[in-house]
Structure 1
Amino acid sequence: MADKTILLTCFLFLIILQHNFGLVIPSRVLNLQPPPSPRLRSPLPPSLDRYTINDDKGSEGDAFRPTSPGHSPGVGHQTPPGAP
């Protein structure tokens, strides 16, 4: 009986030892240095050819048109749906 207990104890010890080595062996050395950072340059300003002066001052006068008091029909409707 003592032989079986010693054999079982040794067997369990080897299984536990193998389990611990199983976690250590596949480990790898980590690369602790960060990747090189890209050199940042300030962006170039846009060219002045892209900017123009707004010459459409004459069309802005017709932008506001007052409406008559009462129901506002909205876009696409001349009269409300229930009106005769």
Structure 2
Amino acid sequence: VESLLLTLGQHYITQERSARGTALDPVAHFHLSNGAIAGRLNFMANMSPKGLQESAGMMINYVYNINQIETNCMNYSEQGIVAHSL
């Protein structure tokens, strides 16, 4: 189950888009539009009822690499490319 959920979570963050072409998740969109890298997905990180309902208990770390922020920001805003280490 863990492997399947992590694979689905990775797909959701890196591939799924809203009608406007942005990440479906508003928090992901915020970080990605500011040049972050989608880092590690954490399984069973938020086991509260809200965490289970919203993200199957998963959470993600976003990494800001000062040397990549501008490039990541442009790639995401212009081409929808998500910088990630997932």
The answer, yes or no, to whether TM exceeds 0.5 is: no
The higher-RCO structure (CA 8 Å, 6+ apart) is 2
Which has more strand, going by share of residues? 2
Which has more helix, going by share of residues? 2
User: Which structure: larger Rg?
Assistant: 1
TM-score (norm 2): 0.18
TM-score (norm 1): 0.18
